[in-house]
Structure 1
Amino acid sequence: MQYTFRSIGALAGLTLMVSSCDSSAPQEKQDVQADSTYAPVETKAPNTDYKPAFEGQTRIAGVKTNTPYDVTVLSEGLNRPWGIAVLPDGRLLITEKSGTLRIAAQEGKLSEPITGLPAVNDAGQGGLLGITIDPAFESNRMVYWVFSQDTPNGTLTAVAKGKLGADEKTIENAQVIYQATPAHKGNLHYGGRILFDKDGYLFVSTGERSDIVTRPQAQDLNSALGKILRITTDGKPAPGNPFEGRSDARPEIYSYGHRNVQGLAFHPVTGDLWETEFGPRGGDEVNLIQPGKDYGWPTITYGIEYNGNLVGDAIQQQEGMEQPVYYYDPVLSPSGMTFFAGNSIPEWENNLFIAGLSSVHIARLVIKDNKVVGEERLLEDQAQRFRDVQQGKDGALYAVTDAGRLYRIGK
């Protein structure tokens, strides 16, 4: 049975239409009416009285999309999906936290689980996480992914690669190419996003594993925790990294001082690397990443501990540490993200879209001159924890939720 919801006006409500089809692919359709600029979308009280470092760093003016677009639920059959990679033919390669991998056809039909991946530890925030494909995938069929791996000393963030078999049922010759050491006996803050840069090297995000004892490693250049890393497809430090040749730093480190980075994306025009990371209670960040820079955690933050205590010395600015382009208080719980390339929806061109977990929406950020100038909440009425959002070959956005939904959002 297929369910289609179509809005018939901003105040008029919804019309429900029912048609017969595969129950794994219900469809919701929503036409967004013309709108412009409004008060900030965040109306809840902040957790702190901390002041932003500059105007527009938080609670920017709200915007609404003028161009009508559709929202379609393609499938509800995924099992805790985490990451999306877009295949050359437009289908989606999707990780599931438990350790399985599936292909979703453009109409939403899901493949059987793809086998051959190494075992994951999916306790807590662990599991099979981010995924990307080789720039030469059409000829080599290579896939790269991040997962939480068991070791004798605890768990860690690991990167693996393998070849998608011609029958698309198995990953062949899977091998672990990188381990973000040290391991830790815990199940939080693995980071987990991965993507290729224009030079064919991999950017990988890690977390600082959450515990008070591991937090300082985000500032430690001899630890891979709380970092953005840049490595080769064999797991070696990429040439040209900012700490290359230094005896007091790991050469794979690209930036540091991160808490738990779950979003990475390149701007479609400038090519700059942007990220999102979780703060504690408040202080989720959107950052423009520059090589060798320190992004402050846990020394500076716009958040507090979950129990209400202050984080460290409760400072928000310090010389030598980067300020976030934008921060949230209360939290967005930002996970995967993507920039919108093209102008099929003109207002969205070069906008940043971030999957929100506890905030149960997709955040649209309008960015000009590396500053956020407008914010919109999409799909908030769906009450879903959005885990990843990526742009497909057809120009639409595709998003997955912890509850197992796959959405298509676009024209």
Structure 2
Amino acid sequence: MRFRTACSLLGCLLGAALIISLLGGFSASPGPEPGLIHTEKHDLRSVPLARGLEHPWGMAFLPEGGILISERPGRLRIFQNNQLSQPIAGLPEIARQGQGGLLDVALHPQFSSNRLVYFSFAEPGSGGFGTAVGRARLDGQQLNDLEIIFRMEPKSTTGRHFGSRLVFDQQGYLYITLGDRGDQQRAQQPDDHAGSVIRLHADGRIPADNPFVDRPGWKGEKYDLGHRNMQGAALHPQTGELWTHEHGPQGGDEINIIRPGSNYGWPVITYGVNYGIGTKIGEGTHKPGLVQPIHYWVPSIAPSGMTFYQGDKFPHWQGNLLVGALKDQLLVRLELDGDKVVAEERFLQNKLGRIRDVREGPDGYIYLLTDEADGGLYRLEPAS
């Protein structure tokens, strides 16, 4: 009796499965790919490459393969052959102070022959801390012939708004983006590096055609003024102009095209407001003689890292601007028409972590760093 009952039950189950299949409710086709990310123009997946990075901040691709990665507590490491190296020796003293520490890293345009690595960091000294830039020769796991080619003046004791990104242009000039160090008025001071883009020769000399070089009372290294805290910078692939983005206060994150001698307005004009209380900062959003951003975000996305995509792995994104965001842990894709943003898409929200840096690799894939105590290096690949 029990045997017949079991067989009847099995027959019922098989019959039900057959009916569901005939009705189209049951399919043998594979389900969605694990980790698949849908976007408007490409489906993609994120591939974790490395974990265990402590607040990674910047990266640079070595011509022989491998990626240099900076960690804010003061370590520089190489990711190669699917593993992270031990910390590279030879860095200077680095202050881990609030948002400061070891920040961006970049290679000299002739790195293949001279092996020069550049890095920005919070430097301790008289008066507190300030963003500095060093360069040294990479020899295996050692940095040699260290030079400090730039020091922000004056230093201060706050732990906020160090910047900073490092970008070489097509003529070999080095651009350094700086924050206002948490003191708004410094961004408008001619004799203060804070809140400015700095332009130097690769050895730290001041170019003779910098806009303020012969103006009494001005720092000759300054290329512009009026920024709050720039943590993204990239060269436009067609025009060669430097584009940057910066954190606003509560609202008012901006993208700007950097032009010599220009004043970008902070804190006189801004689309942001004071934290918590929402009161106005400065004189409003516009003022004659002060440059408007080409794009801004209200509410803030807390942007960090930026790249123009030029590769062939995501052909429908060519010429788009990709921006990492700490808030909501997302990636922003901006479509451009000249110097105008005509469309915006957001994806990866809360999937990987706080995106600190975004770069296109020499292989055409997109690489991301997440700013966490257990941060990671990820590669975005087409899903197909």
TM-score, normalised with respect to structure 1? 0.82
- Counterpart of 1:407 (choices 355, 375, 378) is 378
Q: Secondary structure at the match of 2:281?
A: coil
Partner of residue 233, structure 1: 202
Deviations along 1:196-224, whole A, 9 cap, x unmatched? 111111100111111xxx31121111110
Partner of residue 263, structure 2: 294
Quote how far apart the aligned CAs of 1:325 are: 0.7
Quote how far apart the aligned CAs of 1:251 are: 1.5
Q: Secondary structure at the match of 1:138?
A: helix
Letter in 2 for 1:187: G
- Counterpart of 2:277 (choices 308, 323, 337) is 308
TM-score, normalised with respect to structure 2? 0.88
**Which structure has the larger Rg?**
2
Partner of residue 188, structure 1: 160
CA contact (8 A) 1:395 1:410 kept: no
Quote how far apart the aligned CAs of 1:72 are: 0.7
Partner of residue 132, structure 2: 158
Matching of residue 367 in structure 1 with residue 361 in structure 2: no
CA contact (8 A) 2:57 2:70 kept: yes
Matching of residue 120 in structure 1 with residue 114 in structure 2: no
Sequence identity percentage: 40
Partner of residue 70, structure 2: 95
Matching of residue 198 in structure 1 with residue 170 in structure 2: yes
Matching of residue 376 in structure 1 with residue 345 in structure 2: yes
Q: Return structure 1 stretches of 4+ with deviation > 4 angstroms.
A: 12-16
- Counterpart of 2:55 (choices 80, 90, 95) is 80
CA contact (8 A) 2:184 2:267 kept: yes
CA contact (8 A) 1:162 1:171 kept: yes
Deviations along 1:26-62, whole A, 9 cap, x unmatched? xxx5253xxxxxxxxxxxxxxxxxxxxxxxxxxxxxx
- Counterpart of 2:317 (choices 337, 345, 348) is 348
Map 1:236-315; keep pairs closer than 5 Å.
236-315=205-284
Quote how far apart the aligned CAs of 1:149 are: 0.7
Matching of residue 178 in structure 1 with residue 150 in structure 2: yes
Deviations along 1:224-252, whole A, 9 cap, x unmatched? 00000101222221232122321232221
Q: Secondary structure at the match of 1:183?
A: coil
CA contact (8 A) 1:227 1:258 kept: yes
Aligned-partner Cα distance in 1 for 2:150–2:241: 24
Deviations along 1:125-173, whole A, 9 cap, x unmatched? 00000110011111110000100011121100101010101xx211112
- Counterpart of 1:209 (choices 181, 188, 195) is 181
CA contact (8 A) 2:256 2:294 kept: yes
Letter in 2 for 1:124: G
What is the CA RMSD across the aligned residues, in angstroms? 1.7
Cα distance change on mapping 1:301 and 1:13 into 2, 3 Å: farther
Cα distance change on mapping 1:383 and 1:392 into 2, 3 Å: closer
Map 1:24-103; keep pairs closer than 5 Å.
29-30=35-36, 32=38, 64-103=39-78
Number of residue pairs aligned between Structure 1 and Structure 2: 351
Quote how far apart the aligned CAs of 1:401 are: 0.3
Aligned-partner Cα distance in 2 for 1:390–1:319: 35
Partner of residue 137, structure 1: 111
> Structure 1: where are the runs of 5+ without partners?
1-11, 17-28, 33-63
CA contact (8 A) 1:298 1:311 kept: no
Partner of residue 54, structure 1: none
Q: Secondary structure at the match of 1:69?
A: strand
Quote how far apart the aligned CAs of 1:289 are: 1.2
Quote how far apart the aligned CAs of 1:14 are: 5.1
CA contact (8 A) 2:37 2:348 kept: no
Letter in 2 for 1:395: G
> Structure 2: where are the runs of 5+ without partners?
1-29
Letter in 2 for 1:195: V
Quote how far apart the aligned CAs of 1:309 are: 4.2
Partner of residue 17, structure 2: none
Aligned-partner Cα distance in 1 for 2:230–2:282: 23
Quote how far apart the aligned CAs of 1:307 are: 2.6
CA contact (8 A) 2:271 2:285 kept: yes
Q: Secondary structure at the match of 2:185?
A: helix
Aligned-partner Cα distance in 1 for 2:324–2:258: 19
Q: Secondary structure at the match of 2:307?
A: strand
Matching of residue 149 in structure 1 with residue 155 in structure 2: no
Aligned-partner Cα distance in 2 for 1:375–1:312: 27
Q: Secondary structure at the match of 1:255?
A: coil
